[in-house]
Amino acid sequence: MNISIKEKILSTLINAKGEPVSGQKLADELHISRTMIWKHLKSIEEDGYVIEAIKKKGYILQSIPDLVTPEQILPKLNTKQLGRNIDYYTSCTSTQIIAADKARQGASHGTVIISEEQTAGKGRLERSWDSTANKGIWMSVIIRPNISPEFAAQFTLVSAVAINQAIQEVTNLTPQIKWPNDILINGKKVTGILTELQADMDIVHSIIIGIGVNVNQELSAFDESIQNIATSLKMENGEEVDRSLLVAKILYYLEKYGDLYVEKGFEPIKILWESHNCTIGKRIRATMLRETLEGVALGITKDGVLELRLDSGEIRGIYSADIHLLGRS
């Protein structure tokens, strides 16, 4: 079935804003038969849309499913480049794997890979990431900033600031950032960001920002082992969140703060990060491959590196670790 015709019919129904759309008019405009129109409408209904047929008047779109399709995201999107090319899946293994391949094949700056469900979502060091169907945002954004690889890592903090801002705007919740870029609400994780760099010594080819946001899950959707550390936006604010709107807002702020970082450096991002963080001043445990350190998080450096004061008084820069917040110092 021709997808572009289906999309045209759907956007006509959406744009009619509850007014009936004549089947004959659709057929004339798209130069296809009434039977074909009917087949496309059936296919649209299979995607979860509710369409009412009224005799001699036409078709009315009664309800739109909560999906993160391009048709739902694009009308809400206010960006120059990010999300202008959306690759949508109902299910896939991992958007990050698909995005990495597409980036190697030359996908343009701002390309988004998004899926309703991931069957093999991954976190740091290949830990599995639970990505329930139709309840979260599971997406990867390919960006191609003109920077040297040594300045790429700060994009993980840029992403945290952007997603934090988008959640705040869409839900009125007040999320906080745990170094470097986990987003927590009331101390529980609502967003994980995993970023991959494709680069040569001197130039970044692409940065692939993998984003997982728990949006509309109930507690039972999470594996028992993570129920006390994970949460969703719906669990925190008590109502369903429009996922496609949140996607559009995330992309908007990612573009805004990404451009700000490339133009002005890390300083403005650092200020934003600090104003939303829940790490500085806390006693933390940093678990690394070769050692585990405990101490007080003093702050982040001009490059975003976490500074930890150990009990011995020694100050250590932390570049990569799992951070556990132990409470106030």
Partner 1 sequence: MKIQEIREIIKLVDQSSLDEFLYESEGTKIKLKKNEKGFVNSTSETFESSSIIEQPRQVEVKAPVAQEAPKQQVVEEATTESVVDSSLHTIISPMVGTFYQSSSPDTAAYVEVGTKVSADSIVCIVEAMKLFNEIEAEIDGQVVEILVKDGQLVEYGQPLFLVKGN
**Residue of 132, 195, 232, 277 that binds partner 1 (CB under 8 A):** 195
CB of 271 to partner 1, least distance (A): 14
* Near partner 1 in 276-315, by CB under 8 A: 288-290, 302-305
Decide whether 211 or 215 has the Cβ nearer to partner 1.
211
Number of residues that bind partner 1 (CB under 8 A): 46
Which residues, at least 6 apart from 259, have a Cβ–Cβ distance to it below 8 Å?
Answer: none
Is residue 196 part of the contact set for partner 1 (CB under 8 A)? yes
Pick 20 or 123: Cβ nearer partner 1: 123
In the complex with partner 1, the residue whose CB is nearer, 227 or 320, is: 320
By the 8 A CB rule, do 64 and 72 touch? yes
List the interface residues with partner 1, window 149-188 (CB under 8 A). 149-157, 180-181
Question: Which one-letter amino acid corresponds to residue 231?
Answer: T
26 touches partner 1 by CB under 8 A: no
Write out the binding residues for biotin. Answer: 118, 189
Q: Which of 15, 13, 12, 207 is nearest to 96 (CA)?
A: 207
Among the listed residues 36, 221, 245, 262, the single contact to partner 1 using CB under 8 A: 262
Binding status of residue 125 toward partner 1 by CB under 8 A = yes
Which residue's CB is nearer to partner 1, number 54 or number 125? Answer: 125
Closer Cβ to partner 1, 80 or 264, answer by number: 264
- Does residue number 95 form part of the binding site for partner 1 (CB under 8 A)? no
Start-to-end CA distance of the chain, whole Å, equals 62
Q: Is 117 in the site for partner 1 (CB under 8 A)?
A: no
- Closest approach, Cβ 266 to partner 1, in A, equals 6
Task: Tell me how far, at minimum, the Cβ of 193 lies from partner 1, in Å.
Answer: 7
Under the criterion CB under 8 A, does residue 213 sit at the interface with partner 1?
A: no
Residue 218 binds to partner 1 (criterion: CB under 8 A)? no
Restricted to residues 42-61, the positions that interact with partner 1 (CB under 8 A) are none
Contact 315, 308 (CB under 8 A): yes
Of 64, 207, 247, 308, the one binding partner 1 by CB under 8 A: 207
Query: Residue from 267, 275, 281, 287 that binds partner 1 (CB under 8 A)?
Result: 267
Is 38 one of the binding residues for partner 1 (CB under 8 A)?
A: no
List contacts with partner 1 (CB under 8 A): 124-127, 146-157, 180-181, 193-203, 207, 261-267, 288-290, 302-305, 319-320
